[in-house]
Structure 1
Amino acid sequence: MIKCIAIDDEPLALAQIAGYISNVPFLHQVGACQDAFEAMQLIASEDVDLIFVDINMPDLNGLDFVRSLVSSPLVVFTTAYSEYAVEGFKLDAVDYLLKPVSFKDFLKSVDKARKQLEYRSGGGAADNDSNVINPDGTLFVKSDYKIIRINVNQIKYIECMSEYVRIYLEGEDKPLMTLLSMRKLEERLPASMFMRVHRSYIVNLHKIQEISRLRIIFEGNVYIPVGDNYKEKFNDYISKMCLGK
């Protein structure tokens, strides 16, 4: 688990980063601070691996705040001004996020930080190529620094999130997030059950509740689009399975 804090004097920007942190299973938010001095006290009392800090803050800006730290955690700078990028990287920042920050860019920064921390600990980069289907129809998935066994039949659909995928399971409120490419996952799932219908989605064909205007509908009013490059194969499958005209 990577312990991190978010620092920003703008409440909405702080809430956005805090929300992103809560959506990544291997991140644990130690705190959210609205100024550098509050963050200093938190870092002095807690073990922190990673900080997301805004550059433009009153009294003590993000750059000077990081310079003041005797032993700095990994740093990702956030700002609305791109001209600060060079100064940020001079301080060995992991990354530089330009506001408004997208979740996709946030994930890329988090992955860079994760790899640096694993390198420091001697663990090397994560190898999720070990995700394979077992004879009993289960799959081992690395998520949140744990290896979790899931039943392939419980997978409803899979969503691509940059270098990660989210696996949505029946009976679970939150998806599993794991570092794995859609291509490799598509190759390893049984083709008789799973189909890629969009560059960002793989669906369990057995879990589809309804199809309307090239949108796949799952239980809970989840709508997944069928991409142009995939609709011929998908329509062919539906035509073979459908009764009536």
Structure 2
Amino acid sequence: MKCLAIDDEPLALAQLSGYISRVPFLSLLKSCHDAFEAMETLAEVDVDLIFVDINMPDLNGLDFVRSLVVKPLIVFTTAYSEYAVESFKVDAVDYLLKPFEFQDLLKAADKARKQHEYRLLEQGYGEGASQINGSLFVKSECRVVRIDIAEIKYIEGMSEYVRIFVEGEERPVVTLMSLHKLEERLPAQQFMRVHRSYIVNLHKITEISRLRIIFDKNTYIPVGENYKERFTEYIEKLM
């Protein structure tokens, strides 16, 4: 997630920036000394998350957030607890009361990460699934589940649902969507539809016998008649 840090106090900004740099899923684009510097940055780049102090001169953090037409996720940082109610009125993800520790920021960042994942799904990145930076995000049992695309073995379509089988996991991830829609979200150079009910990860195939794809001794995926020619051409190119 791309983020900004904003604080008019140099020491506080340095600490905040240092904490952010330790969070593996955050990328700090810039450390800003006031809201106006942040506005200049926002005019040039897209930002997912902003950590911003509230009590700043000229334009405080609350008014800065209210002024934004497109609002990234917000985490407020402040030494004044009386701002808590106002901060949540502008839909802040969290509120960190100074002085706070790295673990406090990490918890707030994790809340923001989860909301960011929901936003991506809700903003139309796919019917029930989105593919971002090598990962597939799917809605499953009222949760958003992150799946490493490289670890998917195969996917089975079952009417309105699909079952995603992941290497190392005993149970598949089940999500409400069509196999066709999910196929559109996967990299075509790595995944192939081989049957009306199956998509396979070509990189995970260990053996092929009589037009059956073998992943392990208990998993056999049939190649459908309508998909046989394309799959056979792919295999012949590898030989």
Which range, TM-score by smaller chain?
0.5 to 0.7
Is 1:60 paired with 2:59? yes
Q: Does 1:71 align with 2:70?
A: yes
Deviation per residue, 1:105-140 (Å, 9 max, x gap) = 101100110000101112353458x7959xxxxxxx
| Residue-pair matches, total | 133
Q: Distance in 1 between matches of 2:47 and 2:88?
A: 20
The residue number in structure 1 matching 2:40 is 41
Matches of 2:7 and 2:167, distance apart in 1: 38
What secondary structure does 2:55 align onto?
coil
Aligned equivalents of 1:94, 1:77: Cα separation in 2: 8
Match of 2:100 in 1: 101
Percent sequence identity is 69
1:56 to partner: Cα distance: 0.3
SS at match of 2:59: coil
The corresponding residue for 2:8 is 9
In structure 2, distance between residues paired with 1:81 and 1:45: 31
- Which amino acid is the alignment partner of residue 30 of structure 2? G
Deviation at 1:72, TM superposition (A): 1.0
Q: Structure 2: which amino acid aligns with 1:108?
A: K
Which is greater in Rg?
A: 2
Q: How far is 1:51 from its partner?
A: 0.2
Per-residue Cα deviation, 1:82-123 (whole angstroms, up to 9, x for no partner): 010000000000000000121111011001100001011123
Which position in structure 2 is the counterpart of 1:150? Answer: none
Judged with a 3 Å threshold, the aligned counterparts in structure 2 of structure 1 residues 40 and 126 are, in CA distance, closer, same or farther, namely same
Letter in 2 for 1:40: M
For residues 190-219 of structure 1, what are the alpha-carbon distances to aligned partners after superposition, in whole Å with 9 as ceiling and x for unaligned?
xxxxxxxxxxxxxxxxxxxxxxxxxxxxxx
Q: Give RMSD over aligned pairs.
A: 2.2
Which residue in the other structure is 2:23 paired with?
24
Alignment of 1:222-233 (within 5 A): none
AA paired with 1:106?
L
1:214-225 matches, within 5 Å, as none
Q: Structure 2 regions of 5+ residues with no counterpart?
A: 122-136, 148-165, 170-239
Unaligned runs of 5+ in 1: 134-245
Alignment of 1:170-181 (within 5 A): none
Amino acid at match of 2:99: P
The verdict on how the C-alpha distance between 1:87 and 1:132 changes in structure 2, with shifts beyond 3 A counting, is same
1:81 aligned onto 2:115: no
State the alpha-carbon separation in 1 of the partners of residues 120 and 70 from structure 2. 16
Taking the TM superposition and a 5 Å limit, the aligned residue runs for 1:204-219 are: none
TM-score (norm 1): 0.51
